Amino acid sequence: MRYFLEIAYDGTNYHGWQIQPNALTVQQVLNDCLSTVLRATIETVGSGRTDTGVHAEQQFVHLDVAGKLDKEEACYRFNRILPHDIAVKNIYEVAPDAHARFDAVARTYEYRISLINNPFLHAYSHFMSRRPNVELMNEAAATLLHFEDFTTFSKVKGETKHYRCQIFRADWQVQENILLFTIRANRFLRGMVRLVVGTLLDVGNGKLSVADFKATVQSQNRHLASAAAHAAGLFLTKVEYPANYFLL
């Protein structure tokens, strides 16, 4: 049977989501835990990758097991042996051909900037001592909804076959001493959100105009993007699937 796990993790101590040689990753730790509890070799497939140090408030993975799970008991047993920075939030039954990555219709990321030097937020936000121009950053962010090709914001060594994404939302909000960027799209390229944020911050800091930002996106030139924003401020917050996708 195929199941989806809804998980969350603090990415601080991991080299991203995806398994890779000689590095500690969330997927490897999760696979090892599931294999131990279920007494079988379990390989998960995630809804997407997160980079080193990036967090997830909601991530979905699918896995196949030989028999039917007692979902409540399995969730309890998984969480008993998982490290404190990875949690299984829920387990769902799905159709045998359901796919965590390919069936997702939208994903939402948030980037969090702390406008005060709070030591308790350093692992979960990027500190800026000077507040950028939020109005200009929102003006620039709004232009993203009118583009389809985001080659500019892709990693040079990416393995993707194309660079087209449909962005549904991109905006900044100020919540007390936190500056929050929210972006929702049907898909994202590797490293895309941090490159977008870094370039938008250059607009907010006066290094680029809104027109410059728009020209940067239009250029489809990776080398014109600004430096990527710090990983600690980035969270995968929501992954969406078609209506009635989960069976139970």
Helix (H) or strand (E) holding 78: helix 71-81
CATH topology of domain 2-102: Alpha-Beta Plaits (3.30.70)
Instruction: For residue 51, indicate whether it is catalytic.
Output: yes
The alpha carbon dihedral of 102, 226, 232, 33 has a sign of: positive
CA-closest candidate to residue 18, choices 33, 31, 8, 36: 31
Q: Where in 119-200 does DSSP place strands (E)? A: 126-127, 167-175, 178-185
- Please give the Cα distance from 235 to 243 (Å, whole number): 24
CATH topology of domain 106-238: Alpha-Beta Plaits (3.30.70)
Q: Are 24 and 15 spatial neighbours (Cβ–Cβ below 8 Å)?
A: yes
Q: Where are the domains of the chain?
A: 2-102, 106-238
> Is 106-238 in the same CATH topology as 2-102?
yes
Q: Which of 10, 51, 103, 202 is catalytic?
A: 51
Quick one: pLDDT at residue 157? 60
Asked whether the predicted pLDDT for residue 158 surpasses 80, the reply is: no
Mean pLDDT across the chain, nearest whole number?
95
Q: pTM for the whole thing?
A: 0.95
pLDDT digits (tens, 9 = 90+) for 169-202: 999 999 889 999 999 999 999 999 999 999 999 9
Neighbouring CB atoms inside 10 A of 215's CB total 14
